[in-house]
Chains A and B, each alone.
Chain A
C-alpha cells in the first residue's frame, strides 16, 4: 500500500509543492473540558479553512459531522485522532477540572481502517514518556499496532511523543522528546507531531534523528500571537516540515488571520514581521519617534546582546540615545545615508546584497578612521579588539539581518521598522 501512503503524505505535506504543512488541532473537546474553542468548533474550523490550513485534526465524531469541509482538491486534509487520553484533566493541569482524574489512561479508539473509511488522510496517536513503565509499554503496543494497520491500508501514521509525569524534569525533557521521536520512527511513524524543545539547536537535532517529516505543535495558548509565529519560524529554521497547532489557533480571536500568517511563513518564506504586517518587505530601515523615547537604553543593551557574544553593556551598541532636555532624548542610528560608503577610500564598505544594510569587507579596510569621523553621533564605532592586521575595525549597524533587535526590544515603540523601498 505504498502508493496510497505516498498519495496521502503528498496531500498533507505537498499541497504547495514545498513539502510543508500548516495544520490545526481541533480535537480538544475530545479530551479536555468544554472551553470556548470547543464551543465554537464549527466556526473555528470554517475560519481556519478560509485561512488556508493544509490539514485539520478532528475527533472521529466531529469527522463524521464535518466531512463536507474536506471535500474537493482545495479542501484541507482530514487528520483523525485515533486514540484518547485524560492528561488535560489530571491533577492541577486544568483550571476547571470538572471531573478530576487520578491516573493517566491512554485508549485506542479506532482502527486505521475505520479512520480511512471516515476519509482520513492521516491519523494521529500519542506515545507517553515519563509517566510509568506500564503506560510507556501500553503506548508502544498501541503505536506498533497502529503502525502495522496503517501500513496495510496505506494511511500515514503521525505519532505524537509527549513527555508527562513524575519522571520528566526540566533537565531531561529535551532528551526524552528526542528519545520519543526516535522511538516513534523505529516503531514505524510516517511523521511526528512534537512539542518544540525550546531552542533551534536541540530541535534541529531532534528533526535530524527523526528522519521523517516533523510537525511542531504550539503548546499552551499564548496571549501574544507573535509567540506562536516565532515558535513556528524557529521550528522551520530547525528543519521541521510544518506545524499542527491547537489552542494557539483555536482560541485566537482571529484564527483565520493566524493561519494565514503561519501559511505565509511556511509557504511564502515570510519572516514573522512580514507575516504580522501581511506583506513582505525585501529591505527595512529603522525609524524613530523621539517623543516616545524614555531613555531607558534597552535598545542599546539589546543591540550589544545580539551582536557581541551576549555581552551586557551599552558601550559597543550600534545606536545611541542622548538626553537633550528633561524627559527628551535624541535617538541616533544608521539611517542608511550612504556617507560612510562615499567616504571610504578603499571600497571596504558596501551595501549588503540581501539585507541592504552597510557591510564591511574587513580585508579591504585600512582602519583609516574616515567612516568613524564622518559621524559625530558615534553610530559607527571603533571595535575594542582588532585583527592581526589592524588595531581595530569599524562597528557598523547590520540591521540584524532585516529584523532589528533594537526595534523589537523598544518597550514604547520609539524605534520602529519601516519598509525601505529603494535600495541604493
Chain B
C-alpha cells in the first residue's frame, strides 16, 4: 500500500468503501456563514460522525489535534468568487479562480487529501486553468502520497445542458487525475452514465439538504461512494443530528437520533 492509498483509507471507510464528506471551507470566499461563526466549536461535534471535513488552510491548523476516530481533514486548494450570488456584499463582476496552496503545503498541514473545484460554464481560461491545476496536483499528489478530490461545479452561465455539463466535468476530472470526485446531482439517467465511466470513488453533491435523502438513494444505486454536504448543514438547528442521519444512510446502518453537540 502506498501512502496515497493509506490516506484515502482515512477518508473512505475500508469496510464499506463509502464516505460522508462535509465541506466547511466556503468561508474562504463567503466569510462568516450561519452556524460557522465559531468554526472550531461548530465542526468539532461533526468530526466523529463524518469521514471527511473540508477546511481552508487557516481553519485546518486549528483542527489538527484530531483523534484517529474523527473525520479526515481535507484542505481546499483553490479560491473562487463564483460561490457568491448577485446579492452578496461583494458580488463578482467576473468569475475568478486562483490556486492558494501547494501540495507540499497541504501535506505539511497534515491534510489527508487536497480539494480542488472544477468550474464549468465560465471563461475558457478558467476551465483550462482548472484542468492544469488538477493534472499538476494529481501528479504531485501521487509523488507525495496525497489524494486529490475534485469538486465538479457546473454553475457558469454558459452551461447549456446541465446534466451533460456535469458528466463532462466528471470526465475531465477523471482524465486529469482525480482520486475522488464530488459530483452534483444530475438526474438518475445521468448518474447511471457517470456510474459507468467514473472509475474512481465518487460522492454525490445533493441539490439541497431537503432533497438529499432521495438523491443519495439514487446515487448509491448507481455506484456512488457517498455524500458531500456543503456548509448549509451548519445552518440547521442540530447539525450533528443531520450529519449522523446522512452518515447512517451512507453507511447503510440504522439511523438513530443523536444528541451529540
* A38 adjacent to B197 (CB under 8 Å): yes
With beta carbons under 8 angstroms apart, the residue of A27, A40, A60, A65 that contacts B135 is: A60
Residues of chain B lying within 8 A (CB to CB) of residue A110:
135-136, 139
Chain A residues within an 8 Å CB radius of B176: 30, 59-61, 109
Are the CB atoms of B175 and A30 closer together than 8 Å? yes
Interchain nearest-CB distance for A90 vs B (Å): 9
Chain B contact surface mostly? helix
Residue of A at shortest CB range from B178?
A61
Known: A96-B164, A99-B154. A59 touches B175 (CB 8 A): yes
Complexed CA–CA distance, A118 and B132 (Å): 16
B189 within 8 A of A: no
**Are B128's CB and A65's CB within 8 A?**
no
Residues of A within 8 A of B158 (CB): 99-100
Q: Which residue of A lies closest to B148 (CB)?
A: A61
Pick from B50-58, B165-173, B204-212 the stretch touching chain A. B165-173
B138 CB contacts on chain A under 8 angstroms: 60-61, 64
Chain A count of residues within 8 A CB distance of the other chain: 35
Across-interface contacts of A102 in B (CB, < 8 A): 124
Separation of A114 and B172 alpha carbons in the complex (Å):
19
Q: How far is the CA of A117 from the CA of B164 in the complex (A)?
A: 33
A34–B164 CB distance below 8 A: yes
Docked Cα-Cα span, A178 to B108, in Å, equals 51
Given contacts A42-B199, A60-B176, A62-B175, contact A97 B161 (CB under 8 A): yes
Q: Does B142 contact A (CB under 8 A)?
A: yes
User: Is the Cβ of B197 less than 8 Å from the Cβ of A98?
Assistant: no
Q: Report which of A62, A99, A108, A118 forms a contact with B174, defined as CB distance below 8 A.
A: A62
Number of A-B contacts (CB under 8 A): 109
Contact B121 A99 (CB under 8 A): yes
Name which residue of chain B comes closest to A114, CB basis: B139
B94 at the interface (CB under 8 A from A): no
A109 contact set on B, CB distance < 8 A: 131-132, 135-136, 176
The answer to whether B165 touches A98, judged by C-beta atoms less than 8 angstroms apart, is: yes
Partner of A99 from the list B125, B129, B165, B173 (CB cut-off 8 Å) is: B165
> A61 to B174, Cβ gap below 8 A?
yes
Chain B residues, CB < 8 A from A64: 138, 142, 177
Q: A64–B161 Cα gap in the complex (Å)?
A: 30
Q: What residue in chain B is nearest A96 (Cβ atoms)?
A: B164
Given A29-B171, A60-B139, are A101 and B193 neighbors across the interface (CB < 8 Å)? no
Return the contact of A41 from the options B161, B173, B197 (Cβ within 8 A). Answer: B197
Q: Are B164 and A61 in contact (CB under 8 A)?
A: no
Q: Counting CB contacts under 8 A, is B159 at the interface?
A: yes
Q: Which residue among A59, A100, A118 has the maximum number of chain B CB atoms within 10 Å of its CB?
A: A59
Say whether A86 faces chain B, with CB atoms less than 8 Å apart.
yes
Kindly state whether residue A326 has any CB partner on chain B within 8 Å.
Answer: no
> What's the minimum C-beta distance from B157 to chain A, rounded to whole angstroms?
10
| Complex CA–CA separation, A40 to B167 (angstroms) | 14
Q: How far is the CA of A41 from the CA of B174 in the complex (A)?
A: 12
B161:A105 contact, CB within 8 angstroms: no
B129-164 CB contact bits vs A (8 Å, 1 = yes)?
Answer: 101100110110011000000000010101111111
Evaluate whether A99 and B193 lie within 8 angstroms (CB atoms) in the complex, with A27-B175, A105-B125, A107-B132 already known: no
Q: Does B127 touch A at the CB level, under 8 Å? A: yes
Whole-angstrom CA separation of A109 from B175 in the bound complex = 12
Contact, CB under 8 Å: A33 / B168: yes
A84 at the interface (CB under 8 A from B): yes
Contacts of A55-91 to chain B: CB distance below 8 A: 59-62, 64-65, 84, 86
Nearest chain B residue, comparing its CB with the CB of A42: B199
Q: Taking A27-B175, A29-B197, A61-B138 as contacts, is the C-beta distance between A98 and B128 under 8 angstroms?
A: no
* B165: nearest chain-A partner, CB-CB: A98
Which A residues lie within 8 Å of B178 (CB)?
Answer: 61
Having A84-B131, A110-B135, one finds 11 other A-B pairs with CB under 8 Å, namely: A29-B175, A34-B164, A34-B168, A34-B171, A42-B199, A60-B175, A86-B127, A99-B120, A99-B154, A99-B160, A104-B124
Residues of A within 8 A of B (CB): 27, 29-30, 33-34, 38-42, 59-62, 64-65, 84, 86, 96-105, 107-110, 114, 117-118
